[in-house]
């Protein structure tokens, strides 16, 4: 007879999606009287603690095996397993005994007057003390009055019991990273507009990364949020079997809590990032002065009216941005950070493509005339749950000549892509790009520049490319894969009416330097009508006569009924 399942076993999911959903539901029980930001710190802090402990355990097991094979006895192995340098030298955080996950799970069941929240706070203190790179990063919110200690212990136990993978601790850590990203997406959705400050939709991030193809050098985000751009860049390299250490990561973030989230997120993904010694305003104090970047990827906050502008700032090489809107401040800061061979992708509100207020039109004209704008992409609505503002992506390239950035000389041209008709609804309020959508956009740009056409990187863990059940099969389900760009690979780049067009700078100038793709790409070609005109007229005439006859019949019935009243 099969043994009955234990109560805990019933919680163990069998797929990654079930795992994430189960953990989210369990974590959601903690919400109670906490506000969203505190609740987020508690849950993400636990996920991070599980990661560092798993990484430590894996290193300890590997070290023990290596030492035993070298002939060391058990006592020597035990001693060397507690040598901090054996861990930090392998880029693994040193985890003190009282901060290790198995110990905390065990002590969560002990009633000695010390709450599990106290022990978790102490564990975070120990980690930050013994690992200077984590100083000031980890949350200490686990013992606040609004945190339900019983549910906190249950979540700790659930994280411990779940079988993340049968492929070893390394895969388990990968999955923990995916769980962290999944939670970030869920918190962003639950926090609405505030969530948009730390989370950029996965399909938008993937589009920027796939277009830029960051392979080596310095990569930078001046408003990095929770670090999603960096994580996706690392995934791009991993998907193409390239060394992620070829990229040096630099970032800056204004919000303290978001900066902490980014530090944890990047650590979970094994990324050594320089996010500065603390959080800070990029406009007031650039934490990476004089450092030139190969790639910049950013989703700055849109249309900031209250920002720290200094008119004499050397970054305003193309004109002083208006005091009441920081959009062109962000653009010029990013351009100033690029190497002479650098490229950038920046998400901004659609208004940035046409605005003439506060001198923005003159700045935009200078950006175009200096041949800095390589591509403009109009995005569909509803990609951002946090805002209904239509958005676009600006791509800059310091050098568009033939060379390392592409085999086709595109000096004096701008590529316009109108992607407003791409994407599919994943909920009633949110849209996402499919893999086919992202590939269509990326391939179009790469063909235009004469770059290598690559397969897409691995799908993002938080990418909601599958429509929700209520939308599946309906009009909002994903469309058939778009193939126009792929079909023209052998022939090189080709304009596609209604979707993309390469435009000379002179034409952009004639249009008043407006950069809206819809102005340039034209209308999509209508499908040829196979039905002969005379047959169509006859068919439509017959249909119309039938409808008139039906209308007469219904009117007669109505009159008859009225006559009986």
Strands 424-425 and 431-432: antiparallel
* Mean per-residue pLDDT, 32-54: 81
CA angle 138, 142, 144 (to 5 degrees): 125
Q: Which of 84-93, 126-135, 471-480 has the lowest mean pLDDT?
A: 471-480
DSSP string over 4-20: PPPTGGGG--SSHHHHH
The distance of Cα 195 from the centroid of its chain, to the nearest Å, equals: 13
Question: What digits encode the pLDDT tens for the residues 349-383?
Answer: 999 999 999 999 999 999 999 999 999 999 999 88
pLDDT at 438 over 70: yes
Q: Which two tokens stand for residue 184?
A: 């970030």
Ordered domains of the chain (ranges, CATH): 8-166 (1.20.1260.30), 198-521 (3.40.50.150)
- pLDDT tens track for 106-141: 999 888 889 999 999 999 999 999 998 888 889 999
Q: How far apart are CA 199 and CA 556, in angstroms?
A: 62
Q: Give me the pLDDT at residue 3, please.
A: 41
Residue with tokens 């209520």: 470
Residue 129: how many CB atoms within 10 A of its CB? Answer: 12
In the predicted structure, residue 310 carries a pLDDT above the cut 90: yes
Residue 170 banded pLDDT, cuts 50, 70, 90 = low
- C-alpha distances (whole Å) from 512 to each of 165, 252, 353, 413 are 57, 34, 11, 16
Indicate the range of 77-91, 145-159, 207-221, 465-479 predicted with least confidence: 465-479
Residues 6+ apart with CB under 8 A from 129: none
The pLDDT tens digits for 213-263 are: 999 999 999 999 889 999 999 989 989 999 888 899 999 999 898 898 889
CA neighbor of 224 nearest in space, from 138, 288, 306: 288
In angstroms and rounded to an integer, the radius of gyration of the C-alpha atoms of the chain is: 28
């Amino acid at each position: 007879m099969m043994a009955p399942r234990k109560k805990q076993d019933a919680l163990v999911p069998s797929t990654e999606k079930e795992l994430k959903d189960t953990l989210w539901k369990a974590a959601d029980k903690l919400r109670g009287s906490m506000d969203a930001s505190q609740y987020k710190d508690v849950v993400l802090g636990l996920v991070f603690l599980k990661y560092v402990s798993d990484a430590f355990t894996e290193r300890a097991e590997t070290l023990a095996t290596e030492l035993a094979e070298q002939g060391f006895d058990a006592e020597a192995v035990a001693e060397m397993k507690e040598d901090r340098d054996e861990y930090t030298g392998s880029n693994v955080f040193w985890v003190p005994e009282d901060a290790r996950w198995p110990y905390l799970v065990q002590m969560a069941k002990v009633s000695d007057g010390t709450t599990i929240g106290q022990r978790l706070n102490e564990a975070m203190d120990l980690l930050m003390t013994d690992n200077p790179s984590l100083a000031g990063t980890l949350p200490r919110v686990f013992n606040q009055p609004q945190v339900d200690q019983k549910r906190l212990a249950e979540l700790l136990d659930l994280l411990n019991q779940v079988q993340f993978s049968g492929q070893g601790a390394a895969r388990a850590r990968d999955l923990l990273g995916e769980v962290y990203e999944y939670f970030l997406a869920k918190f962003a959705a639950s926090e609405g507009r505030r969530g948009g400050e730390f989370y950029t939709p996965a399909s938008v991030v993937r589009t920027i990364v796939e277009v830029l193809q960051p392979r080596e050098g310095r990569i930078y985000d001046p408003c990095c949020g929770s670090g999603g751009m960096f994580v996706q860049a690392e995934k791009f390299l991993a998907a193409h079997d390239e060394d992620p250490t070829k990229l040096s990561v630099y970032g800056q973030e204004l919000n303290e809590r978001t900066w902490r989230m980014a530090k944890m997120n990047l650590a979970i993904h094994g990324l050594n990032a320089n996010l500065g010694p603390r959080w800070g305003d990029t406009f007031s104090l650039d934490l990476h002065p004089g450092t030139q970047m190969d790639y910049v990827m950013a989703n700055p906050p849109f249309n900031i009216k209250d920002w720290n502008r200094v008119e004499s700032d050397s970054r305003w090489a193309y004109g002083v941005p208006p005091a009441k809107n920081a959009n062109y401040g962000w653009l010029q800061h990013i351009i100033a950070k690029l190497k002479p061979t650098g490229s950038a992708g920046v998400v901004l509100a659609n208004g940035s493509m046409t605005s003439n207020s506060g001198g923005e039109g003159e700045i935009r004209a200078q950006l175009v005339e200096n041949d800095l704008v390589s591509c403009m992409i109009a995005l569909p609505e509803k990609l951002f749950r946090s805002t209904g503002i239509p958005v676009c992506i600006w791509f800059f390239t310091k050098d568009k000549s033939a060379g390392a950035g592409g085999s086709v000389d595109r000096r004096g041209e701008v590529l316009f892509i109108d992607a407003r008709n791409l994407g599919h609804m994943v909920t009633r309020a949110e849209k996402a790009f499919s893999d086919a959508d992202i590939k269509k956009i990326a391939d179009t740009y790469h063909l235009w520049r004469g770059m290598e056409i690559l397969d897409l990187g691995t799908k993002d863990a938080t990418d909601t490319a599958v429509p929700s059940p209520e939308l599946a099969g309906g009009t909002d389900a994903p469309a058939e894969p778009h193939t126009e760009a792929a079909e023209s690979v052998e022939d090189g780049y080709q304009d596609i009416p209604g979707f993309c067009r390469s435009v000379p700078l002179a034409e952009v100038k004639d249009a008043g330097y407006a950069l809206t793709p819809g102005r340039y790409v034209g209308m999509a070609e209508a499908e040829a009508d196979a039905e002969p005109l005379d047959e169509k007229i006859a068919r439509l005439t017959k249909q119309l006569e039938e409808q008139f006859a039906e209308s007469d019949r219904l009117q007669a019935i109505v009159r008859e009924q009225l006559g009986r009243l």
